[in-house]
Each structure stands twice: as structure tokens, then as C-alpha cells.
Homo-oligomer: A and B are copies of this chain.
Amino acid sequence: MSAEHVDQPRAEARREQILSAAADCFRSHGFHGASISQISKAAGMSAGHIYHYFENKEAIIAAIVARDLEHLLTLTAEMRSACNLKEAMLECVTTGVEDNLEPHYAGLNLEIVAEASRNPRVAKIVHDADVACRESLCLTLRHMRQATGHKDDDATLAAMVEVLAAMFEGLMCRAIRNPEIDKATVMRLFQRAVRDLLEQPS
């Protein structure tokens, strides 16, 4: 009974295959516009077989959302470890701006947020991930501010996180609303705005 036929790696690979195909379909047709049949074709398997790996379509949506937000969590964790070196932090802002201006990234993420505004299951995943991100960012920020001699109360710190988050997330809307955006100039101004926010008097 040693191996006992678990074959987890294969199953996990199959799940990933489905999720990756689903992400593509969701990107181009939205959560409700994409059908199981479409996803199954993109994943190279039959429609029925999908149900061996996911209970239903909503479970696929939830998995996509969770997977995407996990990525965000690792990003904020990376940022925390890099927050002491000013150049590392500036680089974080740079790649953050670039990522959020990427139409593919923006499209799927906005779909997720829109879905969270009406689907309680997705909402819970999004809320929980956001709490974790905010806490991580808050710690990073407090550290940084104390190092530069500022002393902020919790509410102010939390609000700084909110404004910062709004700026980055707003870029996703901009990427879609204005496809001809001048990334270089925006980047320059954006970095200055972030710096001003982080260095403003308490």
C-alpha cells in the first residue's frame, strides 16, 4: 500500500491546465460569458471531465480568483523584505505600475473586482486577501515612516495604504479606458506622487 495510487501530481497538473485555460476564457469573455464547453476545448479535454476536478463553474471562478490574489500576496511580502533599500522599493513601484497598466492583467483583475461586487463567495476571497495585503503594506509603511522620523497613528497609516492602493488599482482602469496612455511620462509623475505621499508630514 506504499504508493496507493494517489497520483496527486497528475491531478494537480490537470487542475492547473484547466485553470490556465479558464483564465484565458474568462479574460476574453468574462466569468459568465465563458462556457464550460469553451474552457474544456481550451484545456483539451471533454466538458464532462472538468467536473472530476471542480465541483461546478463557480468553483473554477473561485479558484482563479484565489490563485490571482495569492500572487498579489507574495508581491506585498516581497515588498516588505525590500522596503529598507530605497532603490528596491522604487523598483517595486516601477514594476507595480507596469503590471497594472498591462491590459491582460487589468482585464482579469477588474473582472474579479466586478464579480466580487455581487458574488458573495468571490467577495469573501477578495476581502480576505485584501485584509492580508493591507496588513502587510501597513507594516512596511510604518517601518519606512519611522525610519524617516515620522510618527503616524493607525488610522492615518491605514489611509495611506488605501490611497496608495487606489493609485495602483486605478491604473488598471486607465489601461483599459485609455489604450494610448503615455506610460513613460505617467511613470515619472506617478513615482513622484508616491514619493510625496510616503514622505509627507504626519
Contacts and interface: CB of A to CB of B under 8 A. Distances in A.
A91 B4 CA distance: 68
Nearest to A33: B32
Nearest to A160: B189
A196 B33 CA distance: 42
A11 interface: no
A110 B78 CA distance: 28
Q: Which of A123, A162, A173 has the most CB of B within 10 A?
A: A173
Interface string A28-47: 11111100000000000000
Given A113-B173, A178-B130, A30 B162 contact: no
Interface in A153-169: 155-156, 158-160, 162-163, 165-169
Nearest to A165: B174
Contacts of A170: 165-171, 173
Interface stretch (A14-22, A79-87, A143-151, A180-188): A180-188
Contacts of A186: 159, 162-163
Q: Which of A31, A106, A162 has the most CB of B within 10 A?
A: A162
6 contacts: A32-B33, A110-B117, A123-B176, A162-B178, A170-B171, A193-B197
Given A114-B114, A126-B176, 9 more contacts: A30-B115, A110-B110, A127-B179, A159-B188, A167-B170, A168-B170, A172-B173, A192-B200, A196-B197
